[in-house]
Amino acid sequence: MVLPELEEAFRCGELSASQAKEVAGAAIMDPGSLGELLGAARSEGLETLRRRCARLKAARASEQDQAERSRRIHAGRRLRTSTETDGTFRLDARLTPGAGAGPLAAVKDRADELFAEARRTGAREPSQAYLADALVELVTSPRGDGPHRPRALVHLRVDLGALRRGNTSAGELCEIAGVGPVSVTTARELLGD
């Protein structure tokens, strides 16, 4: 599909390659949204634009498409580790949004506690340092009886109509805050009974 307005905005330097890629991916699924997406690309940061485009694509995808996407992501799940030349340990995981939401919520919750503790003592470190410390603490503390038993709070945003119907329609949300769009099936699994 040709998107002349997008091509022109990219050629004129109004959009970066990353912005153009995000807008193109969403506009192909909903050509009528191109003007809105171009405006957003010019006024929003890249991460906000990515979330907007992901929501639009999720709203246009059928529940079957979303289920297939989830199966594909699950089949490609992995955890990789490496050590850099200076000895830095690296960890990289690829998970479905539903699988990543719980651990992310638990790490953020503990990082907030660590930040509050550090603030009381006057210590200041980057937020990513608290996240790293929280991850190590949560993974290495004894299960269930450690000083910082993981509590996972997942913020699920889903329109009631979509939840009842079993799929999203244009303009409806079904996402995990901070993670991204998920299928209504995933939302139902997270909600339980």
- For the segment 174-185, the average pLDDT, to the nearest whole number, is 83
- When the pLDDT of each residue in the chain is averaged and rounded to a whole number, the result is 86
- For the segment 165-172, the average pLDDT, to the nearest whole number, is 88
Residue 136 pLDDT > 70: yes
Domain ranges of the chain: 1-60, 79-140
Q: Of 13-22, 30-39, 135-144, 162-171, which range is least confident?
A: 135-144
Going by their DSSP bridges, the two strands 156-158 and 174-176 should be labelled as: antiparallel
Distance of CA 16 to the CA centre of its chain: 21
Q: What is the number of residues in the chain?
A: 193
Residue 39 pLDDT > 50: yes
The pLDDT of residue 88: 87
**Is the Cα dihedral 48, 53, 56, 57 positive or negative?**
negative
Decide: 59 and 172 in contact? Cβ < 8 Å.
yes
The pLDDT of residue 31: 86
Q: Quick one: residue 13, left, alpha or beta (phi over 0 = left, psi -120 to 50 = alpha)?
A: left
The rounded distance, in Å, linking the Cα atoms of 154 and 25 is 27
Instruction: Please report, in angstroms and rounded to a whole number, the separation of the first and last CA atoms in the chain.
Output: 43
| H or E segment and range at residue 125 | none
Query: Among residues 29, 53, 54, 25, which one has the least CA distance to residue 39?
Result: 53
pLDDT, tens only, 100-110: 988 999 999 99
